[in-house]
Amino acid sequence: MTRILAIANQKGGVAKTTTVESLGAALADLDVSVLVVDLDPQGCLTFSLGHDPDQLESSVHDVLLGDEEIADVLLDTEDKVTLLPATIDLAGAEALLLMRPGREYALKRALAEVGQDFDVIIVDCPPSLGVLTLNGLTAADEVIVPLQCETLAHRGVGQLLRTVREVQQITNPDLTMLGAVATLFDARTTHSRDVLADVADRYDLPVLNPPIPRTVRFAEASASGASVMRGRKNKGATAYRELAENLWKHWDAGEDVRTLDF
């Protein structure tokens, strides 16, 4: 059975794209077949997986609008995951989709065509709660919210959880909020942990184990175009591998996901 996971937070810079890329690579290393979907018009996931969005003939945009078959748009990557790429065209998709009936279901319909080819599909949502994110949440079985452990991390979480509840009521009753993943975590101070405990308590949101530490290797990796999972061993990659194992045991063996205690 294919598991579809959406990574969503309308805030930018909280490591959504990094989480999709690193988790995808870590799952692929466990011999899981993975498709990652770039739903952000900025195309950062597409770019960091080695494809220049400006050079692509077709993208998820054409698939959502029904102009291309999804199978014709998929790309291979060096990370061993398959990519449904985005280009800046996607910025216009919001307006075009809004005029269509069933607009929230466009991605779900497309993924149904290729679902049997993949064990896990991970969707990188854009930094907004517009129709693209609604497509991601409508297609997904589960959603994870990356939270950057800074003082105002909770801002916007209430609005995101409200959107998730609306999707559960209207377009996707089977959607499960799996929890938050702590990103850019600084284990040397108690601040990160306090922020997390506050958000978890305030919104009754589980926090998945382990937190992802802040490490300069991520910035180096984006600059070099190589995934942080491929470089030399570092604590960020190790944390994403542990998170991938946690999720895979949940999906494959039906175990509860492991969460942090505060």
Please give the residue ranges that form the binding site for ligand ADP (CB under 6 A). 12-18, 44, 127, 183-184, 212, 214-215, 218-219, 222, 236
Cα dihedral 49/4/40/10 (nearest 10) = -130
Rounded to a whole number of angstroms, the minimum distance from the CB of residue 259 to Mg ion is: 24
Give strand pairing partners of 169.
Answer: none
Question: Is there a cis peptide before residue 210, judged by omega within 30 degrees of 0?
Answer: yes
Please name the helix (run of DSSP H) or strand (run of DSSP E) that holds residue 84, with its range, or none: strand 82-84
Q: What's phi and psi for 76, nearest 5 deg?
A: -85, 155
Asked if residue 240 lies in contact with residue 229, where contact means CB atoms within 8 angstroms, the answer is yes
Q: Name which position in 17, 87, 183, 227 contacts Mg ion (CB under 5 A).
A: 17
Q: What's phi and psi for 208, nearest 5 deg?
A: -70, 150
Rounded to a whole number of angstroms, the minimum distance from the CB of residue 80 to ligand ADP is: 19
Torsion-angle region of residue 13: left (phi > 0), alpha (psi -120 to 50) or beta?
A: left
Rounded to a whole number of angstroms, the minimum distance from the CB of residue 248 to ligand ADP is: 21
Q: In the numeric block, which tokens belong to residue 168? A: 């559960």
Q: Which is nearer to ligand ADP, 210 or 236 (CB)?
A: 236
Q: Which is nearer to Mg ion, 86 or 200 (CB)?
A: 86
Question: Taking CB within 5 to 8 Å according to partner kind, which of ligand ADP, Mg ion, none is near residue 218?
Answer: ligand ADP
Q: Name which position in 3, 11, 16, 80 contacts Mg ion (CB under 5 A).
A: 16
Question: Taking CB within 5 to 8 Å according to partner kind, which of ligand ADP, Mg ion, none is near residue 80?
Answer: none
Within a 13 Å sphere around the CA of 54, how many CA atoms are in the beta-carbon half? 0
Asked if residue 144 lies in contact with residue 208, where contact means CB atoms within 8 angstroms, the answer is yes
Q: Which is nearer to ligand ADP, 103 or 228 (CB)?
A: 228
Question: Taking CB within 5 to 8 Å according to partner kind, which of ligand ADP, Mg ion, none is near residue 214?
Answer: ligand ADP
What is the DSSP code string of 28-53? HHTT--EEEEE--TT-HHHHHTT--G
Site for Mg ion in 38-97 (CB under 5 A): 44
Rounded to a whole number of angstroms, the minimum distance from the CB of residue 9 to ligand ADP is: 6
Residue 60 CA to chain centroid, in angstroms? Answer: 15
Q: Which is nearer to ligand ADP, 151 or 169 (CB)?
A: 151
Q: Which residue sits closest to Mg ion, CB atoms considered?
A: 17
Q: Is 133 in the site for Mg ion (CB under 5 A)?
A: no
Q: Which is nearer to ligand ADP, 108 or 210 (CB)?
A: 210
Q: Which residues bind Mg ion (CB under 5 A)?
A: 16-17, 44
